[in-house]
């Protein structure tokens, strides 16, 4: 199944990733952001229903000096005491949130439409690819040239030791893209059910079968990553 998922990723096709029964217990739509289209965004928001977001490696986060948003809040809590009150120290499924900044491409209008969000995600992936291949001398300046914040597309940044000290969709997705040899910038969206909860794994598998999509469990990616990265 992992080989099929890698082939799908290289072709810019959506795959479904379920993290783990003892973690979030959620299935996400995942595809390389460099291939995203407005149609992909429409599918994810209508059939997924969760938050649409970007996922990046620790390397990319450091290139652009993108912080964890929790660290930004901590640094500002003296000036804005409410941030201290809202500290995320009780996340039930992990020790720390992976969220960084929220962005819009500067050519977007409101930033929320299918066209706008696909533009933001695809162009961000394009810029990341350029930076990773050393075609950009000042990544931070270039980021600011093309994007603004706050925006409608949140960025989640991977742990510096992916699938070792954190096993979230951010790590699972970026590691999968890395193994596939594409730019490790993924876009994702959680799949929601009609019962007020996340879509069950059983129903997510049914959706995958119906739409000819590959369904992966997190442990499959973890196992392959360990072998690939040794």
Q: How far apart are CA 229 and CA 182, in angstroms?
A: 16
Q: Judge residue 145's burial from the number of C-beta atoms within 10 Å of its C-beta, 0-12 exposed, 13-18 middle, 19 or more buried.
A: exposed
Long-range contacts formed by 40-44: CB under 8 A, 24+ apart: 40/14, 40/118, 40/187, 41/114, 41/117, 41/118, 41/121, 42/114, 43/14, 44/14, 44/187, 44/188, 44/189
Burial 181-214 (b: 16+ CB within 10 A, else e): ebbbbbbbbbbbeeeeebbbbeebbebbeeeebb
* CA–CA distance, 121 with 153 (Å, rounded to integer): 8
List per-residue pLDDT tens for the chain, 230 residues long: 899 999 999 999 999 999 988 888 899 999 999 999 999 999 999 999 999 999 999 999 999 999 999 999 999 999 999 999 998 888 887 777 899 999 999 999 999 999 999 999 999 999 999 999 987 889 999 999 999 999 999 999 999 999 888 889 999 999 999 999 999 999 999 999 999 999 999 999 999 999 999 999 999 999 999 999 87
* pLDDT at 73 (0 to 100): 94
Where in the sequence is the domain holding 8, given as residue range(s)? 2-229
Radius of gyration in angstroms for the set of CA atoms belonging to the chain, rounded to a whole number: 17
First CA to last CA distance, the chain: 21
The owner of tokens 């969760």 is 50
CATH number at residue 172: 3.90.870.10
Question: How far is residue 200's CA from residue 198's CA, in Å, rounded to a whole number?
Answer: 6
Q: What is the pLDDT of residue 70?
A: 93
Whole-number pLDDT of residue 137: 87
Query: Number of structural domains, the chain?
Result: 1
């Amino acid at each position: 199944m992992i080989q099929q998922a890698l082939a799908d990723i290289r072709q810019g096709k959506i795959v479904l990733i379920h993290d783990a029964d003892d973690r979030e217990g959620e299935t996400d739509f995942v595809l390389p952001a460099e291939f995203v289209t407005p149609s992909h965004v429409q599918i994810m928001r209508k059939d997924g229903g969760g938050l649409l977001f970007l996922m990046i490696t620790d390397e990319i986060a450091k290139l652009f000096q993108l912080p964890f948003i929790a660290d930004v809040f901590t640094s500002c809590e003296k000036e804005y005491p409410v941030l201290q009150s809202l500290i995320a120290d009780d996340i039930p499924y992990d020790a720390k949130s992976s969220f960084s900044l929220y962005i819009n491409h500067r050519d977007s209008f409101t930033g929320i439409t299918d066209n706008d969000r696909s533009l933001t995600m695809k162009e961000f992936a394009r810029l990341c690819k350029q930076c990773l291949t050393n075609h950009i001398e000042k990544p931070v300046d270039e980021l600011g040239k093309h994007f603004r914040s706050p925006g409608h597309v949140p960025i989640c940044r991977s742990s510096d030791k992916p699938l070792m000290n954190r096993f979230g969709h951010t790590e699972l997705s970026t590691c999968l893209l890395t193994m596939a040899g594409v730019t490790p910038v993924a876009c994702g969206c959680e799949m929601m059910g009609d019962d007020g909860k996340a879509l069950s794994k059983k129903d997510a598998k049914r959706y995958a079968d119906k739409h000819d999509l590959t369904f992966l469990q997190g442990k499959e990616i973890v196992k392959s990553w360990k072998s690939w990265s040794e």
